[in-house]
Structure 1
Amino acid sequence: MSLRNLTVLVGSVLCLLTGPVAGQQTGTPFTGPVFGAESFTLANGLTVVAIPNHRAPVVSHMVWYKIGAADEQPGKSGLAHFLEHLMFKGTARYPAGKLTDIVARNGGDQNAFTSYDYTAYFENTAVAHLPLMMDIEADRMRNLKLDAPAVNTEREVIIEERRMRVDSVPAAVLGERLSPSLWMTNHYGIPVIGWEAEMRGLSREDALAFYRAHYAAHNAIVVVAGDITAAQLKPLAEKYYGAIPKTGDPAPRVRSTYLPRRADVRVVMTHERVEQPEWSRLYIAPSYNVGDRVDVHGLEVFAEILGGGSTTKLYRTLVVDQKLAAEASASYEPDAISYGTFSVLLTPNPGVPVDKLEAAYDMALESILRDGISDADVARAKSRMIARLAYAKDSPMKAAYEVGSSLAAGLTLDDIENWPAAIATVTADQVRAAAHKLVATASTGTGILLPQPQAQGAGAAP
């Protein structure tokens, strides 16, 4: 289970999950189940998960489809995200407009999102309205209605979304230049939102074909977290989702693990909207599905030691002691069908050249790898990581997101519930070995974002 997912949820996407529980600094970490989730499978292949949380009479209802942007066919980038939008165009029973109005009138909220490995839809509502939400989602799982004018309008919507979220954000533009260079033929190098030229070619037929191929009970996971038990949820799931015909069997997801020869790529971009430079480095790393789980858990702890907060080694070295950076952080994303990513992000202080900060990072990393990871460092990192879980159960939405995203990425409930026990067994030797292996063998992508140089004489009096 990725602590990054918990951090993103509580701090929302790349931290409400802050600080250790009082008195739990270096003691024996909690190693019990995380969410107390229970699951069952319907006859049509649908996986259903209940996560009890009886603090309030509310639930988060999420439907996860095991299909994402990395599953698109060449030339159809953005199709998974496009279909996510089109799913709100409704069905004969719940047509466009009426669908969202019903949720709102019943005091709920809804939305959806797409990643490389999955697409998810959710409603947060009072538990009394859960049957209605399940009816809505079950209906649009198989009965989506799309007309050409609505598709054409929504295509323009996603193109405008791309302009706002990518074209107008320098860091996002840099990311689109860097990712393909790093990932090469791996589909993680294609933007989730899609390339604009290909987005313009997406049709109603493309969307319906993708929908019919992948939106089915056997390819979905329903997660309900909140004031409900598995015993209470099962008859509801049977009533609403059980009526959906079986169209296939759950199958392991296969994603290419091919990577070209190790290389370190670099993209430098200037942009007129940039005021403060940024430096980032991405390492292609093992994931829960590709590589050794021992290395994965070691890298989770290493990310916390290196740059998991303002008391960590990278922050103290570059921000506090050397005063070269305004920000320094590291994160690791192992929840992926293919490879994971280990990321470092630095923001230089005003007047500090980026190349000087990069050299300082390289020296700091070398020092940490050589003699900077002690048993005490590992113990403190593990305690911080596991203590954050005390806050993860408070919100049904956070719990449903963490469990659903991990299951959709190929983990099991046992992996999720036993994550604290797995982290508790990580040793300093394992952290050092995983970190050394990453730095020595991983392909990297370095992105540098700089302000646009001023023209000579710009700003001078006439």
Structure 2
Amino acid sequence: MIRSTLARRLCLSALFAFTLVGAGPAPAAVFNPETFTLDNGLQVVVVPNHRAPVVTHMVWYRVGAADEPLGNSGIAHFLEHLMFKGTETMPPGAFSSEVARLGGNENAFTAQDYTAYFQTVAAEHLETMMRFEADRMANLALTDEHVLPERQVILEERRQRVENDPGAQLSEMMRASLFLHHPYGTPIIGWEHEMRGLTTADALAFYEKWYTPNNAIVVISGDVTAEEVRPMAERTYGQVPRRAVPERKRVEEPAQTAPRRVVLESAQVQQPSWSRLYLAPSYNRDPENAAYALEVLAEILGDGPPGRLYRGLVVEDKVATSAGAYYSADAFDLGTFGFYGSPLPGAEIEPVEAAIDAAIDRLLKEGVTEAEVEAAKGRLQAGAVKARDSLFGPARTFGAALTTGSTIEDVESWPERIGAVTVEQVNEAARAVLTPETSVTGLLLPKPTS
């Protein structure tokens, strides 16, 4: 299964940069999707792409790890696994076997705010995929016989992905320190001691609470039209009754008054690295309308040769092998703005931290320039030219947006909104977000030999 921590360096601005069409001050039209809603509340979004007789079919649920009950961390991700364990009419593994028999591929992923399931198949098999997903939307059948062994699978996944990876351990501790009260500080995969206690009853309760058509979005990208999809959707998903869905109530993050620092030393670490996270607005929580300015700022600072940090630390000063910044805006609640850097082989980490701190200080004092803003906006928009060649990209873009509070119109107008960002907005956003009190700094270091 694909796990969507979304690897922190793959923020929504980067996703859009590679999946949106439109350069310069183009009109607000990116994917030109078609959409409709069934009587049971299920929204369907269709992105026609007739380059090949293939479709990507995705089902998105507006529920993720941040919606879990206290003490049940990991249940959203666990249920993602269990959705492949069969229904009242389809035995475990039959769905996946049929997808493979038809020459398709499938997967699923869990994030803090959503859970998604997808298949890519020949267009002629789309209704079969819709029928299978509608079946497990309504008729999941779980018993201890299948649930308890799968619990061992997710525990082993945690061991492999977190406990055997010092970088993942540091990231987990940094997020737990960044979010003092909000559930975004709990790892998507869960805390091990709570994962061990997850039960069949827990999984079924979570499923019955959140998995219903009026809490889901189906996105289909490929060789179809909404006119063709609607009758298929009515024959499949339209037969699933709606249920009441609770409000997504999240605790608010309290005011933060001191920066935090996390240091992890491990014998597994060969190359030190440095990172920092700041709390930031997301698209859905953006009272100052700063999200688009922060995307431009992240592009200016960058994580490659055009970026200030790479150019300054790697090319000019030669104190780092990598350096950059990124912004993660695809959240129902708070987003994050991050920095990272790694020293030259055999060198200490302190010069990298000092150089990035100096770059941040300069940014806050002097700001960015008109030339930097225009170049960054151009790169963001130009990087989107090949979007329509992708099936998965548009489907994922719309699913992530619609499950975290954005609209189709927000996605379609992205190039215009980026194009409208000004120097003043970028500088204001930087000064509002890059405050030490709302930050966590992480150091990943080799363990000293005695």
- The answer to whether the superposition gives a TM-score over 0.5 is yes
1:390 aligned residue: 385
Q: Which residue identity lines up with residue 299 of structure 2 in the other structure?
A: E
Which residue matches 2:11? 4
Partner of 2:357: 362
Shift of 1:369: 3.0
- Look up the SS of the partner of 2:146 in the other structure: helix
CA distance in structure 1 between the partners assigned to 2:204 and 2:354 by the alignment: 51
Residue equivalent to 2:305: 310
CA distance in 2, matches of 1:145, 1:382: 49
Q: 1:79 aligns with which of 75, 82, 98?
A: 75
Amino acid at match of 2:83: M
1:431 counterpart (408, 426, 430) = 426
Partner of 1:399: 394
Residue 277 of structure 1 is matched in structure 2 by: 272
Task: Please report how far the alpha carbon of residue 442 of structure 1 lies from its aligned counterpart in structure 2 after TM superposition.
Answer: 5.6
Aligned residues: 442
Task: After TM superposition, list the pairs within 5 Å mapping 1:158-173 onto structure 2.
Answer: 158-173=154-169
Question: Contact 2:181/2:252 (CA < 8 Å) preserved in 1?
Answer: no
Q: 1:91 aligns with which of 87, 91, 97?
A: 87
3-state SS of the aligned residue for 1:382?
helix
Maintained 8 Å contact 2:298/2:325: yes
Work out whether 1:381 is the aligned partner of 2:376: yes
8 Å CA contact retained: 2:13, 2:295:
no
Partner of 1:205: 201
CA-based RMSD of the aligned residues comes to: 2.0
Question: Could you tell me the TM-score, scaled by structure 1's length?
Answer: 0.92
Q: How does 1:253-272 map to 2 (within 5 A)?
A: 253-272=248-267
For 2:405, the equivalent position in structure 1 comes to 410
- Asked if the contact 1:277–1:348 (Cα under 8 Å) also holds between the matched residues in 2, the reply is yes
Deviations 1:196-239 (A, max 9, x none): 11000000000000000000001000000011111111111111
Contact 2:62 2:215 survives alignment (8 Å): yes
Partner of 2:26: 30
Aligned with 1:177 (options 160, 168, 173): 173
Instruction: Give the corresponding residue for 1:195.
Output: 191
- Contact 2:43 2:217 (C-alpha < 8 Å) held by counterparts: yes
The equivalent of 1:320 in structure 2 is 315
Change (3 A) 1:17 1:145: closer
Change (3 A) 1:73 1:139: same
Question: Does residue 145 in structure 1 map to residue 152 in structure 2?
Answer: no
After superposing the two structures, state which structure 1 stretch, 229-238 or 436-445, moved more. 436-445
What secondary structure does 1:342 align onto?
Answer: strand
Is 2:229 aligned against 1:233?
yes
Letter in 2 for 1:362: D
Per the normalisation by structure 2, the TM-score is 0.94
User: Would the aligned equivalents of 2:13 and 2:329 in 1 still touch at CA under 8 Å?
Assistant: no
Whole-angstrom CA distance in 1 between matches of 2:25 and 2:347: 40
Hey, which bits of structure 1, 4+ residues long, moved more than 6 A? none
Match of 2:6 in 1: none
Mapped contact 1:318–1:328 kept (Cα < 8 A): yes
Distance 2:16 2:391 in 1: 11
Give the distance between the partners of 2:161 and 2:67, measured in 1 at CA: 22
1:92, distance to aligned residue in structure 2 (A): 2.5
Q: Give how far 1:260 is off.
A: 3.4
Q: In the alignment, is the contact (CA less than 8 A) between 1:6 and 1:392 conserved in 2?
A: no
Q: Aligned in 2, Cα 1:441/1:318: closer, same or farther, shift over 3 Å?
A: closer
Q: 1:69: how far off? A: 0.3
Q: 1:164 to 1:3 in 2, by over 3 A?
A: closer
Q: What letter matches 1:294 in structure 2?
A: N
- Mapped to 1, the partners of 2:329 and 2:410 lie a distance apart of 13
Q: CA deviation at 1:123?
A: 0.3
